Structure 1
């Protein structure tokens, strides 16, 4: 399926005068209604592109309520590619071929590096994003088409290396919605349909992960549940297990999370690739650590290490699990020991693993450093905890993810009990700024 880059709204398809009057009055409810009626753009797609709840879009289209805040007007105008002059704004950056958001806050060499990466990704995103106005879906989908879509999904997954879920959620959700539409409308063979369903499960999990990372837990849970349904229909045990693992990871009830993680590992088959087995076992270890089950944690970690040890040269790994390596497993091991309040085990393995972990993965490294800081606090090493927390704060600056701050907030609160230590006092002053 071929996607078109975002362009201005197709005013030739709409009642142009009514559209212009509505835009001038910031009556986006009418804009949304016309977009659906005349251009065939669904409210759910508008909601995803403009970061508005679908029911809110529908209410606005029915004339209930208005959008008046400046930030939201800008966001909608940019998402729909409405020229700035039509809504009382200056010429938008994208009208000149620039990314919509070109300002940045530069703090330190690695943050500047990430800012450049984000700008480059955003510039490429304009071409990669599925537009609101897609080319017509093909009547028939073959195995080659599914392979192309899977390769596109893999390429877009790389955005998660440098951008947070707040930046990527709409991208991944749109991919998922497009594949879901193909399943409804295109003809396929039974084998191709199963492949497309597996891809749908994979995309739902990626979109769910971005939703979770961007502070949308309800949307994440819904997408994970949909991924389970697609994986079951596709008879894809690997993705079924991964769906349970994702649900376990965000479930607040610790015992329930451990049960879900057990379901995840129960889906492992003899044919499961090494990276998939390692991923599911390490997430089982995490669920057990959070539930304060050290023996089960150690067994799951051992199983994950065994899976990687058994990986054969040239064994094909699915892209969604290929990131699991010994460094990631060492980091998970350190995180588990931190949760179990075993700092003498946690600190060495985390320090060594994070020493070889690239700062370009800023969100993840900031998160992992938060566990190292936590372990130092448990060990009573206050100055070390302050230094590591400061590094995590620097890395997390500007990342569109809620998770680093969620992790660092309780760490900062614990450090607040040691304000008499100069390193801590300095850190708290920086954090306040």
Structure 2
């Protein structure tokens, strides 16, 4: 629970007020802070301290100047003010478990099942209003923004569900929007905005396909996304589509992966939002690490860090709000693991993973595989076995092939140490 103080918890009756709900749903934290002060007596200084935000910035936000867009800051505010995750489009926060007296893998599974059901119900309830052209077939210029907001909400499912659960949901969004673009009439400006949203949807569906083990579908969607982004004149999304393609290629021809990742940064350009530049340079660092290019890896990570330093006061696309300093630490640890530098990798991975909720089971189990690998590189076999065991537990109910794909070679390497009780136990768990 980052930055939580009891005096900053919003009262339940205030959370249930319509104006507070509207502000939270819109991520309008200035209004949230304003209501917290006027209705609950929580001072801006208390909010600043609890949320790790500069006091002057809290005041500016309350006056309607600026916005909070990074995942790291949003989660800090949620924890400090005790705002339930569902109200912000986040996975349930760790403190929600303790307050309701629940914990453990069974509760994580029940939460994932709830989100599966609610995603389908929400889709059926509101999609027709957005994708059916009105009488006369002409749509207004508000539709792209409404579709983008909807895409942002559905993207939150990716926090706790695997691609096997979300792929059909995301693909349906993409296909229906593609049909809308084909069948409706609209202005040239609205058409460009629709194609930009379509590119975003294709990337989300491609990411889910990738996690569901549908590599060919993912490639096709990323390529379609790139074309839609180019047609829309959206350089940032075009660059991100290439970054996704590079991510898929690094496991094959490593230099091709580096070339595509480099092209993704050049396509987005130096004028792209800093969060976008941070994400693309992270993926470039990964491509260099897989290609065993340590100096180039370090330069790309430094470029990502420099871009993140600019994020604080700059509006960011929703599709990069998850990229924060913790995510960069994870990527840094992954890169050093790939380069077989365990003394560098282990500390940053341990620190970053400690901040992940178990509800983010797919990502946490996946990232733990790099920690286990680094322990093996360092000769710490029992530590590697312990981390692998915990990763197996987390990934057991996740509809993603990637955690097990990553864990299988680690388990194979552990097999040579089966005489150790910790290793024998994890091998038995893997067989089960």
Matching of residue 121 in structure 1 with residue 119 in structure 2: no
- Distance, in Å, in 2 between the alignment partners of 1:243 and 1:344 is 33
What is residue 421 of structure 1 aligned with on the other side? Answer: 420
More deviation in 220-229 or 138-147? 138-147
Structure with higher helix content:
2
Deviations 1:256-295 (A, max 9, x none): 1111101111123343111111000000000010011111
Alignment equivalent of 2:247, drawn from 242, 249, 265: 249
- Residue 137 of structure 1 deviates from its aligned partner by 3.1
What is residue 390 of structure 2 aligned with on the other side? Answer: 391
What secondary structure does 2:171 align onto? helix
Matching of residue 137 in structure 1 with residue 133 in structure 2: yes
Superposition map of 1:32-431 within 5 A: 109-130=103-124, 136-138=132-134, 139-251=137-249, 252-313=252-313, 315-431=314-430
Output the aligned Cα RMSD: 1.7
- Residue 130 of structure 1 deviates from its aligned partner by 4.5
- Distance, in Å, in 2 between the alignment partners of 1:215 and 1:426 is 28
- Distance, in Å, in 1 between the alignment partners of 2:104 and 2:264 is 36
- Distance, in Å, in 2 between the alignment partners of 1:140 and 1:385 is 59
Deviations 1:67-115 (A, max 9, x none): xxxxxxxxxxxxxxxxxxxxxxxxxxxxxxxxxxxxxxxxx94322221
- Distance, in Å, in 2 between the alignment partners of 1:312 and 1:354 is 23
Superposition map of 1:22-41 within 5 A: none
- Distance, in Å, in 1 between the alignment partners of 2:364 and 2:111 is 16
Structure 1 residues 246 and 130: CA distance shift in structure 2, 3 A: farther
What is residue 99 of structure 2 aligned with on the other side? Answer: none
Deviations 1:241-260 (A, max 9, x none): 10000001111221111111
- Distance, in Å, in 2 between the alignment partners of 1:193 and 1:130 is 25
TM-score, normalised to structure 1, is 0.73
Deviations 1:345-373 (A, max 9, x none): 00011011111122111000000000000
- Distance, in Å, in 2 between the alignment partners of 1:408 and 1:284 is 23
More deviation in 280-289 or 182-191? 182-191
- Distance, in Å, in 2 between the alignment partners of 1:411 and 1:143 is 52
What secondary structure does 2:320 align onto? coil
What secondary structure does 2:228 align onto? helix
Deviations 1:382-418 (A, max 9, x none): 0100000011001101100000000000000000010
Which structure has the bigger radius of gyration? 1
Structure 1 spans left out of the alignment, 5+ residues: 1-107
Structure 2 spans left out of the alignment, 5+ residues: 1-101
TM-score, normalised to structure 2, is 0.73
Deviations 1:289-325 (A, max 9, x none): 0011111100000000000112242x21111111000
Count of residue correspondences: 325
- Distance, in Å, in 1 between the alignment partners of 2:257 and 2:124 is 35
* Contact 1:372 1:388 (8 Å CA) reproduced: yes
- Distance, in Å, in 2 between the alignment partners of 1:134 and 1:261 is 37
What secondary structure does 1:151 align onto? helix
What secondary structure does 1:320 align onto? helix
- Residue 431 of structure 1 deviates from its aligned partner by 1.5
* Contact 2:119 2:154 (8 Å CA) reproduced: no
- Distance, in Å, in 2 between the alignment partners of 1:146 and 1:399 is 32
